């Protein structure tokens, strides 16, 4: 989960770079939390970090991790 948060930070940096250097107006419309496992401390910590730093972008829907989908 930490790497997902790091990837999110990098993505936001790229959006900002495109907007400033290329004069574009890219906007983040929303962020969806996926593969969320309520039973792990790390998942809950990452969710709290996202809520703390990006509350304006976070969608209310959380898609849980589903082992059956992973195994199919």
CA 57 from centre of chain: 9
**Planar angle of CA 36, 30, 49, nearest 5 degrees:** 50
Alpha carbons 1 and 36: distance in angstroms, whole number: 9
**pTM of the predicted model over 0.85:** no
Q: State the CB neighbour count (10 A cutoff) for residue 47.
A: 17
Tokens for 11, please give them.
């993505």
pLDDT of the chain, 72 residues: tens digit per residue: 677 888 888 999 999 999 999 988 999 999 999 889 989 998 899 899 999 999 999 999 999 988 766 666
Alpha carbons 8 and 4: distance in angstroms, whole number: 6
């Amino acid at each position: 989960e930490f790497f997902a948060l790091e990837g999110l930070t990098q993505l936001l940096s790229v959006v900002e770079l495109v907007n400033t250097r290329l004069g574009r107006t890219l906007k983040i419309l929303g962020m969806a939390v996926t593969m969320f496992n309520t039973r792990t401390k790390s998942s809950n910590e990452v969710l709290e970090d996202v809520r703390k730093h990006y509350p304006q972008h976070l969608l209310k829907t959380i898609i849980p991790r589903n082992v059956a989908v992973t195994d199919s």
